[in-house]
A and B are shown apart, each in its own frame.
Chain A
Amino acid sequence: MTSSILVTALQYLGYILIFPGFLFCFLCGNLLIGIDRKLVARMQKRVGPPILQPFYDFFKLCGKETIIPAAASKTTFLLAPLVGLAALVVLQLFIPIRGFSAFSGTADIIVLLYLLLIPALAGILGAAASGSPYAGVGLSREMVTVIACELPLVLVLLAIAKAVGDGTGAGLCFSMGAISEYQIAHGSLICKASMIPAAIAFLMVIPGETGNHPFDAAEAETEICEGMLAEYSGAPLAVYKLTHAVKVLTLTSLFVALFLGGVGVGIPAVDALIVFALCIVVTAIFISLVHAVTARLKIEQLFKYYWTVVSGLALVSLVLAWYGL
């Protein structure tokens, strides 16, 4: 009896720490970033860093001294990056990999929508706590970016809830597990005509949520000294870089789970590889390619873009799903 509890506990601990938790996030996230950097470099006719460069950067930063500004509130300043990373890894645990989900009964898509806010919020609080005016400008832009991305995300998720709800006969469906199972049974959602605009909208949201070009007004190295990260150095900065990497993984795998959930063979290990391969494809096209060919948008342009073009696309999907198309 006790041994079975111990095994269950160890199993869950394994989920959290190894797969699909920390170790998985750390490896895959950094790999995605490495591939992204290499691809962007090749597109710009540069040689680019080795694919493992994000790992080298991470360990190098961890060895550096952490400087805490005199104006900063120390606890919040140091705690914020950790909370952000932990929340993001927990979020990754709820994203099913073709039917396999470590903790299925804990959160649905509305919760997911809010959990996505926590890393951004942690970053904002950390930046505010640093006391730097650059960070102040950065956090303001980050918040506007979050508001900008929220509307299309909401519309996309509601469209999915309705489409899957109609398919299963429940009327509406907020559960990630049910969305995944529906796709395994009826084929991926992206094959439905009504979901294509939503999928495109979601893909457009990915670089905004992760703060990649051209939606990186919040960081804008050349302009406001990396904004929210202006005061960070050493290990906390490493954590932030890792958070960004994991966020790329989370959003791309969320896309795969929501729209390409039917792809796979049924063996968890193989499916995980397939999902990761799909993540690489999505990253390559919608983060790297977009990065290479665009210039940074101003914050008000960014906001307008998301609330008109992207939200419009998502709205089309929602209306189509609403009328059962």
Chain B
Amino acid sequence: MNLMNLMDYHHFPIYSIMVLFLGAFVVAACGTKPSKNLKNPAGARAWIALLATALSLFFLICLVKPVMLGGEIIAYWMGNRAIAGGYAIGIALEVDALSLFFGLLIATAVFVSCLYSIRYMVHDDCVPQYYTLYCMLAGGVLGLVLSGDIFNMFVMVEILTFAAVALTAFRTKVYGALEAAFKYLVVGCMGSTAILAGVIMLYAQYHTLNLAQLATLIPGSMNNATKLAFAFLYIGFSTKAFIVPFHPLAADAHGAAPASISVLISGVLTKSGIYGIIRITYFLFQTMGLGTMQFMLVFIGSVSMFVCVTMALAQHDFKRLLAYHSISQIGYVLAAVGLASGLGFSAGLYHAMNHTLFKGLLFLAAGAVLHETGTTDLGKLGGLSKKMPHTTVLFLVGAFSISGVPPFNGFASKWMIYQATYQRAVETGNIGFLAVTIVALITSVLTLASFVKVTQSVFFGQLPAEYENVKEVPFGMRLAMGILAALCIFTGLFPRLVTTYLTEPAANAILNVGSYIRSMGFKSELILQRADFSQAGVWEPVSWLLILCIALLAVTIVAVASKYDSVSENREKNVAAKYQLFYGGEENVFSQVGGGDLFWGFKHNWRHYFGFMHELHSGVVNDYALWAVVALALAISFMMIVL
């Protein structure tokens, strides 16, 4: 085999997974002795991990041309095995536009977060081990989305769950880290077991594990055992996506894990869950046209987005708040994907991508605050914008994006989601979908409120005396945040580019199960269809921004001309009383308005709801395990009735 043969792009999917696992192995082989370099205790191991993630990203980017633009589906048999006697017996990778879309998200987040880790993880013990686990986690998720058979999906789920649990508990000295990891372990394992049970039930009936072959066999021969398997698989992947009722785990895990790992848990792990749900519902069981299935996914998505945003409003820890928002945004994705229309898929996937970008950015900003101040308690922080101006600006980009402020990326995708849900409501005449549009719009403004709270209580307001010496974070960390912020702005300004080259091919892939099956070498009667991506509204971010810039320029010129900023005194430490805050003649005191009660007027009206939610989220792992069992029972009865 010559070199050119090895560089054939058909090998790239396996390369991209392989480099990550290889990276994990090499890092581990380098031993556990910390390096003497205080700025990078992991030494060369950090660079190895960074190289591995960069290569993995590179391989996937190379696949964009054939898969996204060319519409090719890469079916790759490991060890040159193939179909024998009508059954797939080997391990296969199958990369269609959907897999590649998720793969790209994952690889990007993993690379950026790794870049950030190098300077971020300087205060921790056992940093060398961190990179081993990091690469394992990344490889696990990537393997999951590129895999072509369902048992390998389970194996990858196991790898990523254990790596994620270990990384959640990584800062063992942090209060609650072990507890969070334990909760995650218990419920995460219930999820993994559910997936395994589902796989077993499918294998017992169809004697194959290959996704494409299962997709040919299942739809025609649905029986009770299949439905049971569906329920198990659905619940299993739900725990990975942390959608309701598994959302409390995410909050604990995010609160305790290092920020770079929170990025992976929220931006990457939840995506693997969403990917799994899309694969099983639309490929294996092909419930595309089933109104009741659409109803279930959209309903759970809406409940997730609303419950989690209200839970976020009640939080007073920076990272826990972000964690709930993460699930709230995943709710948007699920609700849009559940619509099973071309526009819905495109919107949902777009939002999934944006979620990875802005949520990653926000977690990294939270990490930067934690890195410099040692706390993420919203009640203790304040006024950091003067000490960390770059972090503040980057955080604001993320906050605007997640709250859907035009022209950032969150707006572009949410706007598509509103249209998709409303269009579906009008098409079907079902008033339930209309309610989803309303819930989504309200959730968006509540998200904004929540981020106003964070902005006010962390970056603005008065600076507590103990943070007088806080400095801006190192360049490496700012660079990682800057990459994500730039991507947030870019994907917000050019939505057409994103939909044409990324989300619409992926949405078409979901709608064309037939070509997925045929590429693997099986027969399928399903015809090729093209989705309709027409939208009801218009939104031209670039021209809007152009107008805004001209307007802003005009205002600024007039303002500057009229001595807008006319303070000429040299303001020293002891400034004249005139430049103190306004207290009506009284002495200037420290009185920061903390995050806890910022939206009193809102919370007061909702006190019964918040009280109920407070009691429900007891923080006891037994309760959450019980929720998982109840959810499984409900899912089973639902599948039995409607399928």
Contacts and interface: CB of A to CB of B under 8 A. Distances in A.
A143 B461 contact: no
Interface stretch (A37-45, A169-177, A249-257, A276-284): A169-177
A139 B456 contact: yes
Given A67-B578, A70-B579, A132-B582, A154 B565 contact: no
B540 interface: yes
Contacts of B601: 140-141, 144, 217, 298-300, 302-303
Contact of B455 (A87, A114, A125): A125
Contact of A175 (B422, B427, B538, B604): B538
Given A68-B579, A87-B548, A131-B383, A114 B404 contact: yes
B2 interface: no
Given A125-B455, A300-B605, A65 B566 contact: yes
A129 B460 contact: yes
A93 interface: yes
Interface in A71-98: 71, 73, 76, 78, 82-83, 85-87, 89-90, 93
B442 interface: yes
Interface string B383-394: 101100100100
A108 to B, nearest CB: 4
Interface stretch (A115-123, A204-212, A259-267): A115-123
B415 interface: yes
A16 B547 contact: yes
A157 to B, nearest CB: 9
B593 interface: yes
Interface stretch (B82-90, B328-336, B445-453, B505-513): B445-453
B539 A111 contact: yes
Interface stretch (A27-35, A48-56, A194-202, A229-237): A229-237
Interface string B577-593: 01111101000000111
A16 B461 contact: no
B404 A90 contact: no
A299 to B, nearest CB: 3
Nearest to A315: B438
Interface string B241-258: 000000000000000000
Contacts of A130: 581
A298 B604 CA distance: 12
Contacts of B385: 73, 76, 129
B581 A22 contact: no
A235 B562 contact: yes
A131 B565 contact: no
B461 A69 contact: no
B582 A225 contact: yes
A73 B460 contact: yes
B605 A307 contact: yes
Contacts of A165: 426, 536
Contacts of A174: 419, 536-538
A135 to B, nearest CB: 9
A268 interface: no
B559 A82 contact: yes
B463 A71 contact: yes
B442 A150 contact: yes
Interface stretch (A99-107, A183-191, A285-293): A99-107
B599 A143 contact: yes
B426 A117 contact: no
A171 B427 contact: yes
B555 A82 contact: yes
A62 interface: yes
Contacts of A172: 422-423, 426, 536
Nearest to A230: B582
Nearest to A307: B605
Contacts of B389: 73
A25 B109 CA distance: 45
Interface in B376-400: 383, 385-386, 389, 392, 396
Nearest to A308: B605
A132 B581 contact: yes
Q: Give the size category of B's interface with A.
A: 35 or more
Nearest to A84: B555
B571 A70 contact: yes
Given A140-B593, A302-B601, A69 B418 contact: no
A128 interface: yes
Nearest to A82: B555
Contacts of A146: 445, 448-449
A147 B598 contact: no
A225 B599 CA distance: 19
B438 A154 contact: yes
B28 interface: no
B554 A235 contact: no
A83 B553 CA distance: 10
A158 interface: yes
A234 B566 contact: yes
A296 interface: no
Nearest to A89: B551
B441 interface: yes
B600 A111 contact: no
B411 interface: yes
B423 A147 contact: no
Interface string B542-557: 0110011011101110
A236 B564 contact: yes
Contacts of B571: 70
A320 interface: no
Interface in B428-449: 431, 434, 437-438, 441-442, 445-446, 448-449
Given A107-B544, A110-B537, 17 more contacts: A16-B554, A69-B581, A70-B575, A76-B385, A90-B551, A103-B543, A136-B456, A140-B600, A143-B452, A147-B449, A151-B438, A158-B437, A161-B422, A175-B536, A217-B601, A234-B566, A318-B434
Interface of A: 13, 16-17, 21-22, 62-63, 65-71, 73, 76, 78, 82-83, 85-87, 89-90, 93, 103, 105-111, 113-115, 117-118, 121, 124-125, 128-134, 136-137, 139-141, 143-144, 146-148, 150-151, 154-155, 158, 161-162, 165, 170-175, 217, 225, 230-231, 234-236, 239, 298-300, 302-304, 307, 318-319, 322
16 contacts: A63-B562, A66-B566, A73-B460, A86-B551, A110-B415, A121-B452, A128-B452, A128-B459, A130-B581, A133-B462, A137-B593, A140-B593, A144-B600, A147-B445, A158-B434, A300-B600
Which 10 pairs across A and B sit closest by C-beta, in order of nearness? Answer: A136-B593, A299-B601, A174-B537, A108-B537, A128-B460, A86-B551, A144-B601, A86-B552, A133-B591, A171-B426
